[in-house]
Each structure stands twice: as structure tokens, then as C-alpha cells.
Amino acid sequence: HYCCRYCCRYQVGRLALPPAAESPVRASPADEAFARAKPALVYFALIDRLQSILKAARAFQPAEPPLPWHVALRERLRHHDQAVLADLVELLAEYEDELLHFGSFQEAFDILGVLADVLRAEPQGADAFAAAASAMPV
């Protein structure tokens, strides 16, 4: 397992996108900031969608009294596995068609469903919001 050790040693902590999602060479600082943030935005979008698919209320699952999340997830997978698989197929299509190809913070925030909130917080636009957020101390 030399390859695994080699990959883990040099790739841990580094998010990367498939070559098809790589953007052409960018020149402006805003574009460079977006290129650095894009893998994290894609990752966030995938996790957000998976949470929704696996944990949010669905029409195919009857309303039940609140259960611990792991019990509800187990029941969903046990009794509604085909519906969950159909949702996951839709997520994969969204990943390939939208998430890998957004080209700006505005598109990313729109796909994530937070563009209205971003524009309310920063009327100058999504790029200004991202610049202000990246300038904040950690």
C-alpha cells in the first residue's frame, strides 16, 4: 500500500477537483480567490445536499414522532432505499452538471441557495462578500 501512504502524506488537507472542473487561467485577485475557494464550496454543497437527502423530512416517509437521527436514518434506508437511491442519482447529476462548473462566487452562492442572504449582507455583490469574509481574522 505504498501508493496510499504516498497519497495520504502529500494530499491530506488539500481539496482538489477533477480536471474537468478546473477553470481556465485566471488573472484577477477575485478570480484567484474563487479558484482557491471552489473545492471547499463544492464540498460544502455536497455535504449540504447529502444531509438533506439522508436526514430531512421527505414526502415518501410518514411523519413520526422525533427519533434520534441515527434511528430515523436507519429506518429511512431500510424502508425507503429506492427513493434514497433516486435522490442520490439526482445529486450525482447535479454534481456533474452544476457543482463542478460554477465559475464565480455568485453562481456558487446561487446554487447553494444563499445568494439572497449574501446580497442582503453585502449589496455590492457576492465577490465583495467573499473578499470581506476572507479578510476577517481567523
Is residue 37 predicted with pLDDT exceeding 90? no
Query: For 41-59, how does the pLDDT look when each residue is reduced to its tens digit (9 = 90+)?
Result: 999 999 999 998 888 877 7
Is residue 10 predicted with pLDDT exceeding 50? no
pTM: 0.69
3-state secondary structure the chain: CHHHHHHHHHHCCCCCCCHHHCCCCCCCHHHHHHHHHHHHHHHHHHHHHHHHHHHCCCCCCCCCCCCCHHHHHHHHHHHCHHHHHHHHHHHHHHHHHHHCCCCCHHHHHHHHCCHHHHHHHCCCCHHHHHHHHHHCCC
